[in-house]
Structures are given as structure tokens and as C-alpha cells.
Structure 1
Amino acid sequence: MPELPEMETYKTLLGSLIGGQKVSNVEIGREKSINVPVDGFTMQVSNQTITTITRRAKYLIFQLQDEKCLLLHLMLGGWMFFGKEEDRPNRTIQVKLSFGEQHLFFIGLRLGYLHLLSPEEVKKEFEKLGPEVLDPNFTVDAFHQLMQKRRGTIKTTLLNQEVLAGIGNGYSDEILWHAEIRPDKKINDLDVQQLTRLYHSMQFILKRGIEQGGYMENPLYKGDGKTGGYQFYVYDREGKECFRCNASITKTEISSRITFFCANCQR
């Protein structure tokens, strides 16, 4: 599932590709991927200019010139491709936005969606989301205060979008490995030093993920050398050597989520 770094990478790249461009045509291949009737969606989005593209948590917001927004959540398995018709992946397309001869293909939206909303409706969608981890205003002190109110395991807490926005299964394992904290550790068993280390690990791992283009397997466009450059420290590396202590990476399950960690150096 695309997480904060993947969506931030999409935001940056799409901003340069379609920012300020007019949508010349709309095609809907799966009606359940949108939230209004096909004719209405097509009529309201066609000939609109994409003024800006922003991100909140794991969402992208395409701002249209009439102030309406397209809210994208890729969920599990969703991705995008931008290019000419002859370059399109051999996959089922749920939604296609055209910009002249170039198109933005939305793929794998079986659980994901592209909804046409007003700014007020978008704001309502985000009401329950926790703070952005990389927001300059989200300080280590703010993190400590937030964790004081929580119970349960630390991995489950990192995944809770109402607590912290944008972290998913992959980066939660990466963050906890970097902080040298077991994913099944109870929050109230973590001391101030461990929580401080965890905060800085969140900052480091997510910024590293953005710098390396996230971990998406599929390129955004032909010749894309940015997307998918992130190299995991621990996630999906069961049985391989830990980069820190050379012990074998362990695979387990916590709250029904596949989890990877080093039992030797994550104490």
C-alpha cells in the first residue's frame, strides 16, 4: 500500500507533469471508483485546469480551477501511470484523465477511489486524521504529549491514522528497526529516551523514503528514474541479515499485520 513517501513522490512528480494543465477528456472504466454518476463526473472535470496538487496523509488532492477537488486514495494495490496511449501498461484502467496526447491512468483502484468533492467535503474527510509527522509544528514535545494518551503496542499505534497520519505497514517496521524498538512493545513501557529516539527515527525514515522515491514497483512514466528507489532495512527481508547486527530478520504477525524485525537488536 502506498504510504506517505510514495504519495509525496507522486505529488512532486505530478506537479511538474500536469500542474497547470487542462483536463481535455475523462474516461471512467469502473463506476465504483468515483462518487458521482459518470456523466456528472465527466462534465464537471473535463476542461478544468489542475491548479495544484497537494498531499495529506496517504491522500492526494487535485485542486481544480472551479475550487472543486479530486481526492485520491490508492488503498491497497493502486498506482498511476502518465504517458501516451501506446505507453500505457497492459492493465485494466479504472479512470483516465487526458491532457491532450498525454494521459494519467489510474490503475488497481479496486479498493481505492477518485472522488469529486468540495473543499468543505475534503476538510470533513480529514477531520479524524492525526498530525503530519513531517510537519515542522509536530515537535518531539508534541509527540511525547500524544503518546502519553495512548495504550497498546507501538506498531499498532504507528499504523493508526487517527494518531499519526501517513505511516503504513512497511515504514512502521522500518521506523521501529531504526529506533531499536520491538514492534510488540507496549507504549507505556517506553521511556522518554526511547520515545525521543522513535520520533527522530520517524523523521529520518520518512525523509529517506521521500528522497529515494518511495518503494512503488511501477514507474510513474516512461523513463522514470525516481519512483521506487527506496531500499528496505527490514521490511520483507525475512531470513536475511540485519544491516546492523547481522542476525536474521524475523517475520511475525501483530494485530493481523505482517511484521518484520530483528529480534537481536530490537530489544
Structure 2
Amino acid sequence: MPELPEMENYKILLNQKIAGQIITDVQINREKSINLNPDLFMKTVQHQKIITIKRRGKLLLFHLQNGQILLLHLMLGGWMYYGTEEDKPKRTIQVRLSFGEHHLYFIGLRLGYLHLYNSTHTEEHLSHLGPEPLSNDFSINEFKERINHKHGRLKTTLLDQEFIAGIGNYYSAEICYGAGIMPTKDIDDLEEPKREKLYQSIQSILQKGIQNGGYMDNPLFKDDTLTGGFNELCQVYDREGEKCKRCGTIIQMETISSRKTFYCPNCQK
């Protein structure tokens, strides 16, 4: 599932590609991927200029000139491609937004969605989300205050979108590795230095993920060399049975709250 760095990468690249452009056509191939009658959806979106694209947690917000917002959550298996009919992927397209001869394809939206809301309903839909971990307002003191009210395993807490927005299964494993903490550790047992190390790891891992285009393999457009670059920098996620790049110990996997989590038993205490 795309997480904060993947969606931030999409946001940056799509702002370069389609911000300021007018949606010339809308194609709906799967009605369950949207939240309105297809005719009303297309009538409201078509011929609208995309003012800007923003991100909140794991979601993207396409702000339209008429004040409406397209809210995208890719969920598990969702991704996008921007290009022409000639170079589009040979995959089932659920929704297509056209910009002349170029199109933005929404792929794999079996669990994900592209919903249309006004600004009030958008705020209501996002109101449960916790703070953005890379925001200037999210200081170490803010982090400590929030984590002081949490209990249970660290892994589960990092996945809680009401605690912090945008971190999922992939980056929670990488963050715990970066902090040198076992993901199974109980938060009540985390001493002050470890809490500070955890905050620093959240900052550095997410920023590194964004700088390297996230971990998703599928390029956003033809000749896109950035998207997916973080995959090669991954330390533990999905590397069960391989050697730790730091110490050589075999990476292990454990299921926590029905999620696979990966760690180095030597580097993480």
C-alpha cells in the first residue's frame, strides 16, 4: 500500500505534470471507484482546471477550479500512470482523467477510491487523521506528548493513523530499524532516549523515502527514473532470510496485529 513518501512523490510529480491544466474528458470504467452517479461525477469534473494537488496522510487531494476536491486513496494495490494511450500500461483502468492527448490513469482501485467532495466534506473525511510527521509543527515535544498517551506495541502504534498520519507497514519496519528498536517493544518500556531516537528515525526515514521516490515499482510516467528508488535502500522490509546490511545477521519476520513486520534481531533491541 502506498504510504506517505509514495503519495508525496506522486503529489510533487503530478503538480509538475497537470497543475494548471484543464480536464478535457472523464472516463469511468468502475462505478464503485467513485462516490457519485457517473453522469454527475463527470459533469462536475469535466472542463475543470486542476488548481493544485495536496497530500494528507496517505491521500491525495486534487483541488478543482469550481471548489470541489477529488480525494484519492489508493489503498492496497492502487497506483497511477500519466501518459498517452500508446504508452499506457496493459492493465485494467478504473478511472481516467484526460488532459488533451495525455491522460491520468487510476489503476488497481479495487479497494481504493476517487471520491468527489466539497471542502467541508473533505475536512470531515480527514478529521480523524493525526498530525503530519514532517510538518514544522510536529516537534519532538509534540511527539513525546502524543506517545505518552499511547500503550501497547510500538508497531501497532506507528500504524495508527490517528496517532500520526501516513505511516504504514513498510515504513514502520524501516523506522523501527533506524531507531534500533524492536517493533514488538511495548511503548511503556521505551525510555526517553529511545523515544527521541524514534522521533529522529521517523523524520529521517520518511524524508529519505521522499527524496528517493518511495518504494513503489511502477513509474508514474514514461522515463520516470525517480519513482521506486527507495526500494534499493530498504533495510529490513520484505527481506526475511537475507543478511542485515549493517551486521550480517539474518533478517526475521513476525506477524503483529495481522501485519508482517521485519527486523534485525541484532541491530534492534
TM-score by length of 1: 0.99
The answer to which of 215-224 and 239-248 deviates more is 239-248
CA distance in 2, matches of 1:87, 1:243: 37
The residue aligned with 2:168 is: 168
Deviation at 1:135, TM superposition (A): 0.5
The residue aligned with 1:244 is: 246
The residue aligned with 1:142 is: 142
Gaps of 5+ in 1: none
CA distance in 1, matches of 2:234, 2:143: 25
- Give per-residue Cα distances to partners, 1:72-124, cap 9 Å, x unaligned: 00000000000001111111100000000000000000000000000001100
The residue aligned with 2:255 is: 253
The residue aligned with 2:119 is: 119
Deviation at 1:251, TM superposition (A): 1.0
Deviation at 1:14, TM superposition (A): 0.2
The residue aligned with 1:154 is: 154
- Give per-residue Cα distances to partners, 1:131-175, cap 9 Å, x unaligned: 100001100111111011001100000000011100000000000
List structure 1 runs of 4+ shifted beyond 3 angstroms: none
Deviation at 1:258, TM superposition (A): 0.4
Deviation at 1:41, TM superposition (A): 0.3
Q: Which amino acid aligns with 1:244?
A: R
CA distance in 1, matches of 2:145, 2:133: 14
CA distance in 1, matches of 2:127, 2:55: 15
The residue aligned with 2:103 is: 103
CA distance in 1, matches of 2:203, 2:235: 15
The residue aligned with 1:53 is: 53
How is 1:185-204 mapped onto 2 (pairs within 5 angstroms)? Answer: 185-204=185-204
> Residue 85 of structure 1 aligns to a residue in which SS?
coil
> Is 1:177 equivalent to 2:177 in the alignment?
yes
CA distance in 2, matches of 1:142, 1:252: 30
Q: Which amino acid aligns with 2:245?
A: F
Deviation at 1:246, TM superposition (A): 1.2
How is 1:24-43 mapped onto 2 (pairs within 5 angstroms)? Answer: 24-43=24-43
> Is 1:262 equivalent to 2:264 in the alignment?
yes
> Is 1:74 equivalent to 2:58 in the alignment?
no
TM-score by length of 2: 0.99
Question: Between Structure 1 and Structure 2, how many residues are aligned?
Answer: 267
- Give per-residue Cα distances to partners, 1:192-246, cap 9 Å, x unaligned: 0000000000000000000000011100001001100002111011111112211
> Is 1:94 equivalent to 2:94 in the alignment?
yes
